[in-house]
Amino acid sequence: MMCCQFIFKPGTYDDDFHRLDAQIDEYARSLPGLQRVEKYLSPDGDVVNAIYYFADQKDVAKLARFPTHREAKGQVARWYDGYRIVISQVTATYGDDRLPADEPAVAVTVTVWVISEIARRTSSRSFCSSSCESGLAPPTG
C-alpha cells in the first residue's frame, strides 16, 4: 500500500483552485487503487494533511500524470503558504482487532510527527497532539 500525504498551509483560494481541486479529487476517487482519503488539521488549524492511500504505485503514477493535477501543481504558490509531499510505502499494519483496519492508527502517529517536525523547523510552534507531547516517537525502520 502507498500513502501519499499532501501537507500544506492554506493560503487564498480562488475559483480556479476550487475547480481544479474538485476535478483532481473526483479523478483520484475514481482510480480503482484508491483505498481511502483522510484529512487532519493541526490543533491550531494552520496546517492541513490530506492523506491518500493507494493499493500500489500504479494509481499514484496515474494521479501524478493527470493533466489537471499537473496544471494545479504549476500554480501551488497562488493558493498555499507552503507545502510538502510525503510518499510512503506501508509495509505492515497490525493491531489487536479492536480498532478497525481502516482506522488511521499508524498514519496519525507519523502524520503528527511530520507536522511537528515542519513546525519545529519553520517556526518553533508545535502542532503536536498530546500523544506526541507525551513522548511517542515516529515509527522507525
Higher pLDDT among residues 77 and 105, named by residue: 77
pLDDT classification of 93: cutoffs 50, 70, 90 = confident
**Mean pLDDT over residues 97-105, rounded?**
65
Share of the chain above pLDDT 90, in %: 60
Write out the three cell numbers for 130: 498530546
Q: Which residues contact 141 (CB under 8 A, 6 or more apart)?
A: none
Contact by Cβ (8 Å): 50, 5: yes
pLDDT classification of 110: cutoffs 50, 70, 90 = very low
pLDDT at 103: 54
pLDDT at 3: 94
Long-range contact set of residues 119-124: C-beta below 8 Å, sequence gap at least 24 = 119/42, 119/47, 122/82
> Closest Cα to residue 101, out of 36, 49, 41?
36
Comparing 7-16, 21-30, 98-107, the range with the smallest average pLDDT is 98-107
Contact by Cβ (8 Å): 73, 21: no
User: Terminus-to-terminus CA distance in the chain, angstroms?
Assistant: 17
**Mean pLDDT over residues 110-114, rounded?**
46
**Mean pLDDT over residues 74-94, rounded?**
92
Write out the three cell numbers for 131: 500523544
Q: What is the mean pLDDT of the chain?
A: 78
Buried/exposed 3-30: b ≥16 CB within 10 Å, e otherwise: bbbbbbebeeeeeebeebeebbeebbee
Write out the three cell numbers for 83: 507545502
pLDDT at 127: 35
Helix (H) or strand (E) holding 20: helix 15-30
